[in-house]
Amino acid sequence: MLEIKNLHVKLEEEDKQILKGVNLTVEAGKVHAIMGPNGSGKSTLSYVLSGREGYEVTEGSATLEGEELLEMEPEERAAAGLFLAFQYPVEIPGVGNMTFLRTAVNAQRKARGEEEMSAAEFLKVVREKAKALKIDADMLKRPVNMGFSGGEKKRNEILQMAMLEPKMCILDETDSGLDVDAMKLVSEGVNALRDEGRAFLVITHYQRLLDHITPDVVHIMAGGRIVKTGGPELALEVERNGYADIMSEAV
């Protein structure tokens, strides 16, 4: 599904290398988790994959189902099936959440040469999925993420993912800011989407989320590289001992 090879990324504005040779392959149907200390480059990796400006790829490649991602515009990546649940979801004053969702759904359909979703069908689907995430009608009407609490913003990210049904879902610390119940809702939302044709890359600091969303593979990122890869037990090890052992091992 997603194949990242020797990815080197620096900031455009300054001479600062952030990713220093990331290698990562995520197969369809699998859930991969990335853990790693603050500032190790996890969000940077997710932004670079989704096409945010301000970064320069100096070496390496990233492909989604064989297609070169790094050459595409952000909207093309989305239409190709990539989705990023932001660590810090963005507030957009003046754009209603519903309008935003419908525009996004239909834009992607159009890009793939599919028919647009009718207003009635859209409404039905969005209400159903919002309900499952305990997002009320008022939140759907409000401007995108405006006045949403931290946890509400994260649930809104998952609603977008559920509506867009992407193939490759990257979740950047979607668990941070969620209360225990919301964590369950979000996990259920993710698990409901798990299937053979879809893959997840879950960035998190805590085992807590992985209790609900069991990963197939766990990676540890440090200093702009994947320094260790293992099974679910690796996350438990981090939970118990932190990163010190792993880092010294990796060096």
Partner 1 sequence: MMARAQAKQDALSARIAALALPEGLRPARDAALARLSGMGLPLRREEYWIYTDPARLNAAEPPALAAEGEADFFAALDRARIVFTDGAFDAAASDDLAQAGVEIETLSDAASRDIHWVRDFYGSLETQGQTPVARPFAALNTAFAADGVVIRVTAEATRPVELVYRSTGTVSDPILHHCVKVEGGAALTLLEVGFAGARYNTTLEVDVADGGRFNHIRTQGRAHERVANTHLFARVGAEAVFKSFTLSANGILTRNEAVIELAGAAGVAHIAGAAIGEAGFHHDDTVFITHGAPGCESRQVYKKVLKNGAVGVFQGKILVRQVAQKTDGYQISQSLLLDDDSQFLAKPELEIYADDVKCSHGSTSGAIDETGLFYLRSRGVPEAEARVLLVLAFLAEALQEIEDETIAEEIRSRLESWLL
Which residues, numbered 60-99, are part of the site for Mg ion (CB under 5 A)? 87
Q: At closest approach, how far in Å is the CB of 230 from ligand ATP?
A: 19
3-state secondary structure of 247: helix
- Spatial distance between the Cα atoms of 84 and 69, rounded to a whole number of angstroms: 14
Which of 19, 55, 62, 86 is the binder for partner 1 (CB under 8 A)?
Answer: 86
Kindly indicate which of the ranges 12-20, 71-79, 192-200, 235-243 contains the residues binding partner 1, using the contact rule CB under 8 A.
71-79
Q: From the list ligand ATP, Mg ion, partner 1, none, which binds 189 (C-beta under 5 to 8 Å, kind-based)?
A: none
| Binding status of residue 43 toward Mg ion by CB under 5 A | yes
Footprint on this chain of ligand ATP (rule: CB under 6 A): 11, 18, 36, 38-44, 54, 87
- Spatial distance between the Cα atoms of 148 and 155, rounded to a whole number of angstroms: 10
Q: At closest approach, how far in Å is the CB of 246 from partner 1?
A: 31
Kindly indicate which of the ranges 26-34, 100-108, 125-133, 228-236 contains the residues binding partner 1, using the contact rule CB under 8 A.
100-108
| Binding status of residue 103 toward partner 1 by CB under 8 A | yes
Q: Give φ, ψ of 150 to 5 degrees.
A: -55, -45
Q: From the list ligand ATP, partner 1, Mg ion, none, which binds 151 (C-beta under 5 to 8 Å, kind-based)?
A: none
CA 50 to chain centre: 9
Which of these, 104, 82, 178, 100, lies nearest to 146 by C-alpha position? 100
Which of these, 72, 82, 87, 89, lies nearest to 143 by C-alpha position? 89
3-state secondary structure 168-215: EEEEECCCCCCCHHHHHHHHHHHHHHCCCCCEEEEECCCHHHHHHCCC
| Binding status of residue 104 toward partner 1 by CB under 8 A | yes
CA 159 to chain centre: 13
Enumerate binding residues for Mg ion (CB under 5 A). Answer: 42-43, 87
Enumerate binding residues for partner 1 (CB under 8 A). Answer: 50-53, 73-75, 77-79, 83-84, 86, 89-95, 99-100, 103-104, 107-108, 111, 143-144, 160, 164
